[in-house]
């Protein structure tokens, strides 16, 4: 069993989908050269997070200019070819080719890709905030759609099906891992977290657009609560050259100044299963953060952390005899165990 290296890529979306895919390819090649097994890109990395855009929409009124703005945003989104009505991964056509390209990049580099993207669907004008999982050998093996877009995001992103709240079993460096993604402020939803803990998640991925200092406390808490390794990945988007956020920010709130100019300072970070900070946070620049687990270390640290607190599947602190959680369209508990045995 070889060492296991996990990496987050803190980069900003480029002006076009083509340029962003080229950047993803370059970053993945570089990461593969350092031994990375899994590489995470931020929320809405492909397609772009529309920070500061209004799309001409206020309560009771829309504008023609805003509709054109939305059309331009829709054009830059990704069509994976998924025609399942709930977005569960029925890829009946190649879409715009992005899915095939991501599979090729993963295959050629040997890196498992977790990519945040804005997804569109053939025959529909709606968009979804999603995360896709691309295995180097198996291709696309899973996808999440954001169940509840945050605040004004709901103007442009549709709600995702709760059936996508499904953990995915993968193998990295010969290590079996149960992985799931929770997108940005979904991480503040207790039942979403509980649904994933019940599926035995040990690798918890949190792509985000939140650069507040409070976010660090959120993902650290999740690492401790779920006794899992948490990879949180945000974009870094610098201010325009003629603006300096340091001149505007209030003490202790660097994210406020960036928000005023449609940028973000980053804050990607990796926490271990006891809440220990293993890498980062990374502020104010593009780059990557990595953590390496030596042979046997992954299982030892995950299992050891659950000695005194375990809310996962069958965990002693979960009190499955007292608490039951049902998620629409999702198999949990015994049904999930039966599925794993097939």
Per the structure block, which two tokens stand in for 30?
């570089």
Evaluate whether residue 250 is within a structural domain.
Answer: no
Number of domains in the chain: 1
Evaluate whether residue 321 is within a structural domain.
Answer: yes
Residue 339 pLDDT greater than 70, yes or no: no
Per the structure block, which two tokens stand in for 92?
């009946």
Evaluate whether residue 240 is within a structural domain.
Answer: no
Evaluate whether residue 261 is within a structural domain.
Answer: no
Evaluate whether residue 49 is within a structural domain.
Answer: yes
pLDDT (tens digit, 9 = 90+) per residue, 179-233? 999 999 999 999 999 999 999 999 999 999 999 999 999 999 999 999 999 999 9
pLDDT value, residue 241 = 67
Average confidence (pLDDT) over 310-331: 87
Cite the active site residues: 43
Evaluate whether residue 86 is within a structural domain.
Answer: yes
Sequence-distant (≥ 6) Cβ neighbours of residue 141 within 8 angstroms? 133, 134, 135, 168, 170
Q: How far apart are CA 143 and CA 222, in angstroms?
A: 21
Q: Which domain holds residue 84?
A: 4-235+270-341
Q: How far apart are CA 203 and CA 226, in angstroms?
A: 10
Residue 236 pLDDT greater than 80, yes or no: yes
Evaluate whether residue 280 is within a structural domain.
Answer: yes
Q: How far apart are CA 14 and CA 18, in angstroms?
A: 8
pLDDT value, residue 143 = 95
pLDDT (tens digit, 9 = 90+) per residue, 291-317? 999 999 999 999 999 999 999 888 999
Residue 258 pLDDT greater than 90, yes or no: no
CATH number for the domain including 151? 3.60.110.10
């Amino acid at each position: 069993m070889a060492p296991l290296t996990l990496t987050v890529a803190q980069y900003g979306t480029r002006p076009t989908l083509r340029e962003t895919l080229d950047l993803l390819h370059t970053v993945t090649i570089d990461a593969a050269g350092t031994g990375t097994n899994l590489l995470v890109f931020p929320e809405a990395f492909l397609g772009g997070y529309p920070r500061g855009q209004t799309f001409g929409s206020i309560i009771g009124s829309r504008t023609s200019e805003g509709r054109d703005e939305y059309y331009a945003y829709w054009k830059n989104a990704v069509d994976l070819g998924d025609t399942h009505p709930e977005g569960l991964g029925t890829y009946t056509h190649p879409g715009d080719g992005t899915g095939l390209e991501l599979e090729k990049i993963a295959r050629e580099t040997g890196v498992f890709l977790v990519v945040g993207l804005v997804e569109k669907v053939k025959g529909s004008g709606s968009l979804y905030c999603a995360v896709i999982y691309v295995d180097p050998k198996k291709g696309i093996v899973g996808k999440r759609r954001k169940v509840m877009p945050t605040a004004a995001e709901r103007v442009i992103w549709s709600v995702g099906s709760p059936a996508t709240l499904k953990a995915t079993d993968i193998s990295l460096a010969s290590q079996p891992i149960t992985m799931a993604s929770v997108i940005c402020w979904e991480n503040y939803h207790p039942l979403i977290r509980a649904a994933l803990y019940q599926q035995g998640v040990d690798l918890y991925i949190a792509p985000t657009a939140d650069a507040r200092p409070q976010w660090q406390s959120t993902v650290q808490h999740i690492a401790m609560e779920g006794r899992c390794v948490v990879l949180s990945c945000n974009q870094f988007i610098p201010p325009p050259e003629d603006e300096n956020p340091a001149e505007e920010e209030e003490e202790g709130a660097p994210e406020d100044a960036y928000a005023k100019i449609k940028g973000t300072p980053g804050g990607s970070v990796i926490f271990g299963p006891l809440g220990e900070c293993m890498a980062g946070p990374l502020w104010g620049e593009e780059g990557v953060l990595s953590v390496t687990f030596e042979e046997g270390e992954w299982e030892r640290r995950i299992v050891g952390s659950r000695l005194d607190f375990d809310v996962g599947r069958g965990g002693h602190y979960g009190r499955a005899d007292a608490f039951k959680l049902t998620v629409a369209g999702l198999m949990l508990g015994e049904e999930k165990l039966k599925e794993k045995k097939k």
